[in-house]
Each structure stands twice: as C-alpha cells, then as structure tokens.
Amino acid sequence: MPIAVASSTLGVSLPVSRRAQVTRKPVECAVQARPALLARSLKPLQTGSGVKALPLRPARNTDSVRVEASGNEAIPLPEDEKKFLGTPVSTLQKIIPLGLMFFCILFNYTILRDTKDVLVVTAPGSGAEIIPFLKTWVNLPAAIGFAALYATLSNYLTMQQLFYACLVPFVVFFGSFAYVLYPLRDYLHPTQFCQNLLETAGDRFAGPIAILRNWTFCLFYVMAELWGSVVVSVLFWGFANQITTVDEAEQFYPLFGLGANVALIFSGRAVKYFSAVRANLPPEVDGWGVSLNGLMGMVVVGGVLIGALYAYMQKTIVAKQKKVLSAVPPKKKKKANLSLGESVTFLAKSEYIRCLAALVVAYGISINLVEVTWKSKIKAQYPNPNDYSSFMGDFSTCTGIVTFCLMIFGRFVFRKFGWGVAALFTPTVLLLTGLVFFSLVLFSGPISPMLAALGMTPLYAAVLVGAAQNIFSKGSKYALFDPCKEMAYIPLDRETQVKGKAAIDVICNPLGKSGGALIQQGLIIGFGSLAASTPYLGAILLVIVTMWILSANRLAVLFKEANEAKMKEDMEAAKAAAEGKKRFKYVTSTNEEGVVTAKYVALDPEEGPSDDDVFSSQDLTKWTGKAEDAPVKPAGK
C-alpha cells in the first residue's frame, strides 16, 4: 500500500565554538528507502565560518510519521493514534458514517426499484411491454440530460453544494408523488385521449401510448432509475473515494457490499409489510395509495438521514483533511474526457477493451431479455398492485440473502480457480436459468399435468422460476461479475485504464441497458405482443450469452498475459527503486529575520540533468538555523 515511514527528527552537528541553536523539524515528505541507503555518508558541508561540519543526515528513527494517500494527496497520521479492535479511530470515524449512508441509499433504492415496477406494470392500459420503451426513449435521454446538467453545475458549485443540489430534488419529488401527484392522477392523466389514440394506432403501439397515458408513473420510474445511478454511483462513491485512503478502501469496501445486501433484506421486509396493510382497510379505501404513503415516507426519512450524515462528515472528516492538505500543492491530472467518436475509436483499437466491452453489453442485453417477460407473468399472476408489491418485497429479500452468500462463495472461487472461472460463472448461471424459464413459458401445455400434481399452475411456476433466475443472475453479477470487471483494468497501463473505462462508461453501459429494450421493441411491433415474441427472445438470449462466454474465455487469456507482464514490470521497477538512484536538488532560502532554511527537494523524473543533482535517497533532509551557520551545497556537487 502507499504507506511509507520516515524519520521525523533530523540533527546537525556544528563546531563547539560556534554552535547554533538548531531547531529540529519534521520531514515534509516520506520516502521508501532501504536501511543500507540510509546509512550512506555524505561529503562534509562547509559552514558560513569556513569550518567544516558533519553533513546533513537523518538521525535515529525515534519518531515516525505515517503517510497515506487519499484523493491523490498525502495525509500524515501519527503512528501512536488510538485504535479500536485494531483499527485507527480516525478510520472508524469515516467508515461507520459512510456505512450508514450506504445502507440508507440502498434501502431507498430497493423500495424505489420495487415500487416503480408496480406502478408502470399494473397501471391502466399498461403492462410489462411498456418497460422497453421507457428504458430507451425516456430513461436514456433523462440520464444524458442529467450528465450534462451535472457537468455544468460542477463548474459553478462546490462539492458540498453539488451533493445537496442532486439529493434534495429526489427527496422532494418522492415525497410529493405520494401525497400530491398520485392522489391527483385521475386529473393529470390524459386517459380518454390515449384510449382514442390506441384505437386508431392499434395494440402494437400500446407501450408508447401507455407512457403518455400514465406519465406521472413513468416520471416516478425514471427518477427511481436515476436514484441508482446518481445517488449511488456518482454521489456516494465519489464522496467515499474522496475521503478514504487506498488501504481503507481495500479493507472496508467489500464490507459495504455485504451491508448493501443487508439493506436489501430489510427493505424487502418493509415493502412486504406496507403492501399487506390493504387487508385491514375498508373496501372503499385505496389500499395501494396507503401503502405508497408509507413507502415514500420511509424514502423521505432515508433521504434526510443521508443528508445529515453527509453534513456530519463534512464538518468532521472533510474539515480535518482540508487543514492537513492545505499546504500540499495540487497535482495536475490528465482527464480522459472522450467524445462518443473518440470512445468508439479507442474501443476498436484494443482487443482487450473490446472483450471487456462485450461482457458489459452482453450482461445488459441478457438480463433485460428475461426480466421483461418475467414481469409480464407477475402482472398476470398478481394484477392487484398490493399483491404485486408484496411479491417484489419477498423477491428483494431473497436477492439480498442469495447475494450475501454468493459474495462469500465468490472469494473462494477467486482464490481456488482464478479470474477465468469467476468470469464464466455469471453467464453460465444466466444461460441455464434463462433456458429453464423460457422452456417453461413455451412448453407450459405439455407439462401442466406434472405441475398440477405439485399444486402449481404453469403461470405460477413461470413466476417462481423467473424469480429464481433473476435472483441468481443478479446475485452472481454483484458477487462475481462486477469484481471481475474491475479487476480486468488492473494489469493495464495507466492510459489504457483511464481511457478504456471512460470509453466503456460512454458506450457500453447505455448500450447494454437499452440494447435489450431495442430488441424487444422491434419484436413487439413486428409480432404484435410480448407473448408472441417469447420464442425469439429465447433464441436471442442463447446467441448473446454464447458470445459472452467466448469473449470471457478470450479475455481470460489476455488478462493472464497482461497480469504477468505487469508483475514483471513492477518487479523491475522495485529493483530499480531499491538502488536509491533518485535525484534531489539542494535549495536554500532566507526569511525576513535572516534565518536560512536549506533542504534537498526531489526533482521531477522528466526534468533534465542539473549541476545541483544529488543521487541519493538519504539526502531528503531539512535544516533550519542562523544564517551564518547555514550549510552550503557540498563541493563538487
């Protein structure tokens, strides 16, 4: 890890006749050097009076400073810092609030994800056929619009202001939807106009017309989708990466993943509870409206807690880091802001990136092909919104439990079998469970007697098998596919890492999400309904997953080669660093009181040679004293 220990006390021996009172100063930088290098002696220094003194060199390591990297800056931490259960208290002060924030965000996301499907699928004149059109023609433009707005606001707002500018509109909308928009839905929805339009256009266009007919529900769907990408990916992970060190991230980020699945379990139980309130209400009361009030009330409370935790960490953690980093000059970074055309070009040049992009696109298409058909079966089995929501609550709870177990199992897979087997796990699970689901849907007639003997109808069996398919597919995605994808960037050089990830973010994520939706739209319009398109969806799934497996096998070979090359390069770099051939420049300065400060400053490796260069790691020292006693640059250097 990027942690170095260096001596914090430096001594200077001066002649007895003219001994100055030397102030001991802490080292401003930390270097990694072997003890043999630290023991090397320097040439004597000439004092201001012409008498030779001992050279500047580090004293015994009586004190130490630990330096960690956070946000690409150096944060010195004392070695004797208080610890609890082996973890520094300052780390726990960051990790515990971050964990609570992540729990609240994922708790809200699960409620919103389940609720959005209930709203749009069970809405009047709507069904699962609406989802592909929503993802392509509403979700995608909204995501692009938010990205543009976020980039603009980031130029004018501070990070704290930007966080609240993104969070508050979500909380206000979800609260107002339950208490304002939903009760007024009959006045806001153009029901009669859309019914007339459907009679004219035909059932093939029922999906797009349903978006217009239930526009407030579709707006809720879009905001719920954006919560996952904006609040989780942009706001939370951006803030977490800003305040945590690399060492802390490696230790605690996996625990965030486990905590996310605990949030799934709790939120699933909450959805189940509020969906069951209809049983205790009079017939004339809108049970789903009451359930919606309770669910959105929890979302609002969760949003307030997220904002409060963020404010607390701004006052405690970020404020302390700003004081420490105020003296550190900012580093210039090269940004990989690729346009769409540049992203396509970069993808086309690298086989490694192409294979990685194929994995991302294939997952997005495959999961959508099965999910929409499954949700159409759920609506047929549970036409009432409360029953639909109750089922989705059980689904979320089971997803959290299975993913929790698969994350533990995934660590065994990585250690025992390596990256290649782990990368094949998700497509294999998705293919096998997907084929079982489509077979059950297509051949429900011949197997009906067998299912009747088990006490199930073909429809209910399809709902259960589809649920199992989604649970295990998403669980393996969170536990194995996502870690594999991120690990694949590690062996690459810095430029390919940055540009490759930027290219995949620009092209492959949206393409994977909307690719399956576009396929379904074409089949629905071509064959008239989602049910008539089911056989073709199964065949397309088989083709997509087969290409996914082939790409994963090829990427496993490339990953192994790149990893071996990276290890060889790192070993050579470590060997070169161990020789201590680092260049420093001797610099002196005098303040208004006549006190001279002399120190060796590390030179940029890209700078050309200089007469002031000193080739030794031990020379990174600092001296402070009277002007007449200041050491000068060693002769011959």
CATH of the domain at 549: 1.20.1250.20
Q: Is the pLDDT of residue 69 over 90?
A: no
State the pLDDT confidence band at 596, using cuts at 50, 70 and 90: low
Q: Which of 297, 326, 355 is the last residue of a domain?
A: 326
Of the candidate ranges 38-42, 191-195, 344-348, the one whose mean pLDDT is the lowest:
38-42
Same-domain pairing of 128 and 201: yes
> CB under 8 Å to 85, separation ≥6 — which residues?
none
Q: Of 54-58, 302-306, 351-355, which range is least confident?
A: 54-58
Same domain, 220 and 139: yes
Lowest mean per-residue pLDDT among 201-210, 319-328, 526-535: 319-328
Is residue 348 domain-shared with residue 456, that is, in the same domain? yes
Residue 141 has pLDDT above 60, yes or no: yes
pLDDT of residue 102: 87
In a domain, 78, yes or no: no
- Boundary residue ending a domain (575, 606, 622): 575
- CA dist 109 and 132 (Å) reads 20
Q: Tell me which residue of 1, 21, 26, 23 sits closest to 620, measured CA to CA.
A: 26
316 and 351: one domain?
Answer: no
Q: Which residues contact 165 (CB under 8 A, 6 or more apart)?
A: 153, 157
Is residue 116, in this structure, part of any structural domain at all? yes
User: 11 versus 231: which is more confidently predicted?
Assistant: 231
Domain for residue 85, yes or no? Answer: no
Total residues belonging to the chain? 637
Confidence check: pLDDT of 530 > 70: yes
Alpha-carbon span 478 to 590, nearest angstrom:
58
Looking at residue 618, its pLDDT comes to: 39
254-268, 412-426, 530-544: segment of lowest average pLDDT: 254-268
Q: Are strands 613-615 and 583-590 parallel, antiparallel or unpaired?
A: antiparallel
Count CA atoms within 13 Å of residue 237 on its CB side: 10
Burial class, 120, CB count within 10 angstroms (exposed 0-12 / middle 13-18 / buried 19+): buried
pLDDT at res. 595: 55
In this predicted structure, the answer to whether residue 11 has a pLDDT above a threshold of 60 is: no
According to the model, what pLDDT value does residue 179 have?
A: 92
8 A C-beta contact, residue 194 and residue 213: yes
pLDDT tens for 95-110 read 888 889 989 998 999 8
Do 251 and 398 have their domain in common? Answer: no
pLDDT surpasses 50 at 120: yes
- Same domain? 393 vs 305: no
* Mean pLDDT for the chain overall: 74
Residues 395, 267 share a domain: no
Residue 343, burial from CB neighbour count under 10 angstroms (0-12, 13-18, 19+): buried
Confidence band of 478 (pLDDT split at 50, 70, 90)? confident
Q: In angstroms, rounded to a whole number, what is the distance separating the alpha carbons of residues 597 and 59?
A: 18
Query: Which of 216, 540, 531, 229 has the alpha carbon at shortest distance from 375?
Result: 531
Q: 468, 440 in Cβ contact below 8 A?
A: no
Q: Do the Cβ atoms of 112 and 299 come closer than 8 Å?
A: yes
Q: Looking at residue 292, which CATH number applies to its domain? A: 1.20.1250
Do 305 and 261 share a structural domain?
yes
Report the pLDDT value the prediction gives residue 497, as an integer from 0 to 100: 67
- Does residue 30 lie in a domain region? no
| Mean of pLDDT values over 483-500 | 73
Q: DSSP characters for 224-280?
A: HHHIIIIIIIIIIHHHHHHHS-HHHHHHHHHHHHHHHHHHHHHHHHHHHHHHGGGGG
pLDDT score for 164: 93
Count: domains in the chain = 2
Domain that holds residue 472: 341-575
For residue range 148-184, list pLDDT tens digits in order. 788 788 888 888 898 999 999 999 999 999 999 999 9
Within a domain: 580: no
Considering only residues 421 and 570, tell me which one the structure prediction assigns the higher pLDDT.
421
53 — phi, psi (to 5°)? -125, 165
Which residue among 554, 575, 596 closes a domain?
575
What is the pLDDT confidence band of residue 36, given thresholds at 50, 70 and 90?
A: very low
Highest-scoring range by mean pLDDT, 153-167, 173-187, 220-234, 507-521: 173-187
Buried b vs exposed e over 556-567: b needs ≥16 C-beta within 10 Å?
bebbeebbeeee
Give domain status of residue 125, yes or no.
Answer: yes
In a domain, 212, yes or no: yes
> What is the pLDDT confidence band of residue 81, given thresholds at 50, 70 and 90?
low
Q: Tens of pLDDT along 308-330?
A: 999 998 888 776 655 544 444 44
Give the pLDDT of residue 147: 76
Helix, strand, coil abundance in the chain, percent, nearest 5: 70, 10, 25
Binning pLDDT at 50, 70 and 90, where does residue 286 land?
A: confident
Same-domain pairing of 346 and 275 = no
CA dist 402 to 69, 278, 290, 451, 479, Å? Answer: 35, 29, 30, 26, 10
SS3 for 401-454 is HHHHHHHHHHHHHHHHHCHHHHHHHHHHHHHHHHHHHHHHHHCCCCCHHHHHHC
The predicted pLDDT at position 223 comes to 94
- Given a cut of 60, is residue 343 above it in pLDDT? no
- Let me know whether 320 and 370 are in one domain: no
Greater pLDDT, 89 or 360: 360
Separation of alpha carbons 275 and 565, rounded Å? 55
Which position has the higher pLDDT, 341 or 70?
Answer: 341
192 & 311 share domain: yes
Asked whether residue 168 falls in the same domain as residue 268, the answer is yes
SS3 507: helix
Q: Is residue 495 part of a domain?
A: yes
Rounded mean pLDDT of 15-26?
35
